[in-house]
Structure 1
Amino acid sequence: MKKHLLSIVSLMLLSGLAIAQKAKKEIVFFEDFNQKTLDRTKWNVEITGNTVNDEQQAYIDSAATIYLTNGKAEGAKNGALILSALYKPGHMSKEGKKYDFVSGRINTRDKLMFTYGSASIRMKMEDGAGLWPAFWALGKGKWPDCGEIDVMETVGDGSWVSNALHGPNYFGNTPFAKRDTFAQGTDVTKWHIYSVDWTPTTLTFKVDDKVTYTVTKAMIEKYGRWAFDNPKFLIINFAIGGGYPNSINKVTQPYYGLSQQSVDKIKAGKAKTIVDWVLVTK
């Protein structure tokens, strides 16, 4: 209880009215990245095994691709997590596959597993065709039967982000996907709060506390089993190129789903996803 009270006070001081309102609920998990290095008691760092979706990056455990900034860097309320995509031609995975790009992916598997509640993230990112950061939740077990909740995805068009759900008989080009276009004057490169409210019968997605998409259990069951009654873990990753970006931008050169302009941003060290905080409440 003392830990929860302390977290509530910290949240109210750090993050303003929106977070203060969320803090009235029980805090299941809160991370403001206010340390020198990533807290490995909360986060696992993933290393590429088998690349999916024709993505062009390898995920590595490196301070060059996953690091924290101290203080109010980049406009964060406190510390911030940086996932940085880098050009590293000829990088070889332990499976013997070569990549020209490396990046970062972290998750809370077996450290935070939750069923129902609200999951939120405050983040901003670089835009550019094929730059593909995401914040999502996944169950353990075989995909897609385990259920996937995509709270925020962007494939480089800074004017919109998307939400999606994947499960048995509704995956891949799922019928449960929705784009949300930003109001004029803002885009993915600005700070936004992306969230999902998850109940036993609904999933409601929001951007800056505005509802963007709601999916009900009845809607899902027209296609397949409702795969959202099991514990999920959180994932934050920064993918490069691949099938989803290609389906939007139609780029095949110089890399599948990744434009030359985006390659130039990566080479210049400008391809970054920045996370202020992550919060789960019930």
Structure 2
Amino acid sequence: MRYPHHRRLLAGAVLLGTGLGALTAVATPPAPVMANPPSSAYTLVFSDEFNGTAVDTTKWHYRTDVKANSAQRPENVSVAGGYLNVHHRKESYAGKSYTAGGVVSKTTFRYGYYESRLRVTDGAGWHGAFWLQAGDGSTTYPAEQRTEIDIFENDSVNPTGTTQNVHLWAGSGVKAAPSKNGWYGPAGFDVRQWHTYGVDWSETSVKFYVDGQLTRTTSYLPSENTHDYVAMWLTSIGYGALPDDSKLPSSTQFDWVRYWLKDAYVDNDGPAAYGYTESGSWLNSTLSGWTVDSTTRYAGCSVAGATATWRPNLRAAGTYEVFYHNIVQSNGDPAARLTVVHSSGTTPTTVNGRSGSTGWVSLGQYHFGAGTAGYARLTGSGGGCARADAVKFVRR
């Protein structure tokens, strides 16, 4: 990688917005430094430096919807000069008078730190964004949309700042709850200049960064809406004010995009289900899991020996605390055995699924090597229904 490491700075004049619909303002601009994840516990697992001569279509879908004032075309996206260039053109296509475009990652992600260095075009009429949401670029309202995080979003008629939003969707463009909106626009800030924008999404919060400084924090709990798997969108479309034809053609540019992972979640559903396996008889449960609408499973309630295994692909060796999401029910297994296999051996723990409260149960802290050698395994005792949802490995 071509980037140096720098110490993160917390802007002294930052106001942190945590409420629904809160707007955030910052009094002084951040220092124009390259950025990194919040700590060394994060490991880079995805990047595109855009140093080639064409879009890497093994990594990216093209944005191809028709929305607002433009139609989005693959022909409007190029890689040249070390940048991903999203071109804006005045041309008739698909019933629109303007065209633009963008790319959407084929790999989906959840918690971690996302970052891109970018600048937007000069002239009114364009909506540049670096954002997270499910989908493949064919529509911004897919049925599976739940979480949307706008790391950078700007209408070019006002180049003085960016929104920093979290939207809660129920799918197909239907809102599940009010948005958590913020604005970053200190005196002298100009989105037409190069800046680095990042977000650290965790199970409990979303933290926004600009040029290495924390600029906004908002709470976002798994009980509020589904924390689903999201793609990275690097896009620009015609939106709001009509484009200024005198500035065309033009482009929004992305220097690079990167994603770092800290903690590993293995669930019984979603893309991370590659690390989840079962033996014995298991059935789908009507009980929701650790985040809204997360599916769960249960084993035969009077048969001992059914197992569920959560095997993460840890990107870095280190100490991790292991948590099992325990779903407590009156017919739950009161003596389910949770076994953690780690670098130093095997550690069993008994978890009561019949009394107490539903939630994360710590199985202890252990050292794990990088890769897939370590895991947690649930074994039903036969004294009740053993339930399988998710296990998380939290880097310490």
- Does the 8 A contact of 1:127 with 1:189 survive in 2? yes
**Percent of pairs with identical residues:** 23
Match of 2:61 in 1: 44
Give the deviation of 1:174 after TM superposition: 4.6
What's the secondary structure of 1:264's corresponding residue? helix
Match of 2:245 in 1: 263
2:123 is the counterpart of 1:106: no
TM-score (normalised: structure 2):
0.52
Match of 1:66 in 2: 77
- 1:236-255 → structure 2 map (5 Å cutoff): 236-241=234-239, 245=240
Match of 2:211 in 1: 208
Name the one with the larger helix percent.
1
- 1:28-177 → structure 2 map (5 Å cutoff): 28-48=45-65, 51-52=66-67, 55-62=68-75, 65-70=76-81, 79-89=82-92, 91=93, 93=94, 98-108=95-105, 111-139=106-134, 142=142, 146-156=146-156, 157-168=158-169, 171=175, 174-177=178-181
Structure 2: distance between partners of 1:226 and 1:173:
8
Deviations 1:21-49 (A, max 9, x none): 8776211111110101111111111222x
- Does the 8 A contact of 2:146 with 2:168 survive in 1? yes
Give the deviation of 1:19 after TM superposition: 4.0
Deviations 1:214-248 (A, max 9, x none): 11136x96xxx3332x211101111112xxx3xxx
Gaps of 5+ in 1: 1-6, 71-78, 246-256
Aligned mate of 1:178, from 156, 179, 182: 182
Structure 2: distance between partners of 1:17 and 1:103:
28
Larger Rg: 1 or 2?
Answer: 2
- Does the 8 A contact of 1:23 with 1:281 survive in 2? no
Provide the aligned C-alpha RMSD in A.
2.7
Give the deviation of 1:171 after TM superposition: 4.3
What's the secondary structure of 1:153's corresponding residue? strand
Give the deviation of 1:145 after TM superposition: 5.0
User: Alpha carbons of 1:162 and 1:43: their partners in 2 closer, same or farther (altered >3 Å)?
Assistant: same
Aligned mate of 2:230, from 210, 229, 232: 232
Higher relative contact order (CA 8 A, sep 6+): 1
Give the deviation of 1:142 after TM superposition: 4.7
Structure 1: distance between partners of 2:256 and 2:70:
25
User: Alpha carbons of 1:240 and 1:23: their partners in 2 closer, same or farther (altered >3 Å)?
Assistant: farther
TM-score (normalised: structure 1):
0.71
Deviations 1:107-130 (A, max 9, x none): 01xx32111000000001123332
Aligned amino acid, residue 101 of structure 2: G
Aligned amino acid, residue 34 of structure 1: N
